[in-house]
Amino acid sequence: MRILIADDERVSRRMLHGLLTMWGYEVISVEDGNKALEELKKPDAPRVGLLDWVMPGQNGVEVCRAIRRDRPEPYTYLILLTTKDAKENVVEGLESGADDYLIKPWDPYELKARLRAGQRILQLEDRLVEARETMRFKATHDHLTGLANRGFIVDSLERELARTRRENGSTIVMLGDLDHFKSVNDTYGHPVGDEVLREVARRLLGAVRSYDLVGRYGGEEFLIVLPGCDADMAEKQAERMRAALANEPMSFNEESKLITCSFGATAWLPGMEPAEEALIRMADDALYRAKRQGRNRVVYLSASAPACPPPDDPVAVGQQESGEK
């Protein structure tokens, strides 16, 4: 564990440095508050700070306040070193965000014990943060495929459209729906259907750029957001995803089966209202056309395209009613 010592008195700083090194800590020492703050704000900053109260630049209390304000995470355990033993000073120190304090001249055994207490607090803190992040991931991701879930992908689309609009760029919104997926479940059973969905997710993620967003929108339906793409790029990107599935059969139960996907795409372009619902509807309309045109294909519709006619095709209606897409 790394510890920062900030103390303007050379002798005190050296003594601390020597002891902490002997106890197995990795030590960084500085002689004023400004340098302390600089060290504690670095991305790989020490998790424990031993701060002298009175020192040049910002004093220990000011450093505590600044860290609590500017760097809430990961948590830094801060101990103030002070010769001030009046009660109001202690209260001020703790209220500034210090976790603990030691009155100078400090006792080495007490210092050691307090550092151990600090480490325990940090371990607890890290476990809490980890648990919170796990919960957050579970709340925003689909447990089967690990992709963003419906709520999260729609929220992400909303944020992406706001950003695209600010930057006057363009964004592609795409819906993909596996072809004849119901027959996979019916023929091979749901465990195989689940494995197919996981493999589809892996292939889709492998076919997009690192900053594209892929979410599970419904059972076998995927919502894909491609920031910074215009219509020409959209078709290429969608084609790459389609090919990632259509070019290689999937193997399960010692059989191999080609799983294909139909895609409907549309674009948000400069000047449009950032209405994610309308874009998803348009992508869905394009997807419907891709299904009607024979599946395993990409259909792009610009936002100004006329609405898709009602499903008057008896075959398409029959297929929809049976749940077969």
Residues that bind Mg ion (CB under 5 A): 8, 52, 54-55
Sign of the four-CA dihedral 16, 22, 23, 27: positive
Nearer to Mg ion, 93 or 215 (CB): 93
- Collapsing DSSP states into helix, strand and coil, what is residue 84? coil
Contact 70, 76 (CB under 8 A): no
Q: Please, which contacts does 185-191 make with residues 24 or more away whose CB atoms are closer than 8 Å?
A: 188/252, 188/253
Backbone angles phi, psi at 4, to 5 degrees: -100, 130
Q: Which one from 220, 221, 273, 321 is the annotated catalytic residue?
A: 220
**CA dihedral defined by 209, 212, 216, 220, rounded to 10 degrees?**
-50
Nearer to Mg ion, 9 or 235 (CB): 9
Nearer to Mg ion, 83 or 123 (CB): 83
Q: Is 273 a catalytic residue?
A: no
CA atoms within 13 A on the CB side of 310: 1
Containing 239, the helix (H) or strand (E) segment is helix 231-246
- Closest contact distance (angstroms) between CB of 95 and Mg ion is 20
Nearer to Mg ion, 54 or 154 (CB): 54
Q: Which residues are the active-site residues? A: 220
